[in-house]
Amino acid sequence: MIWGEVHDGNAHFMGGVSGHAGLFSTADNVFQIAHQFLPEFSKLVSPETCGLFNAISRRVPMSIDPSDFSLRQRRSRPRA
């Protein structure tokens, strides 16, 4: 187990419980969780359910496109 402390004033105000605190884990665990959203790798949900994650988000206006969460590199200008 990894123990950490979040310095989050909003969570402190809510008694230490807040849904926006983030994901705290190892890179390997995050990778394993991410694989569960891919139909060819998921052991938790059916391929049809994995497909729904993508299909539903494309019908909701102003939602984030799941395909944008890729590993492609984005170029940015160097900071001065």
Evaluate whether residue 35 is within a structural domain: yes
The number of distinct structural domains making up the chain is 1
Higher pLDDT, 68 or 42: 42
* Overall size of the chain counted in residues: 80
pLDDT tens, 45-73? Answer: 898 888 887 676 556 565 555 555 544 44
Please state the pTM of the whole predicted model.
0.43
% of residues, the chain, pLDDT over 70: 49
In a domain, 74, yes or no: no
Cβ atoms < 10 Å from Cβ of 40: 7
In this prediction, residue 7 carries a pLDDT of 72
Supply the pLDDT for residue 46. Answer: 92
Concatenating the DSSP letter of every residue in the chain gives --------HHHHHTTT--TTS-----HHHHHHHHHTTSTTT-SSS-HHHHHHHHHHHHHSTTPPPGGGSS------PPP-
| Own/partner long-range contacts of 32-41 (Cβ < 8 Å, ≥24 apart) | 37/66
Identify whether 75 is part of a domain: no
- pLDDT at res. 8: 73
- Would residue 4 count as lying in a domain? no
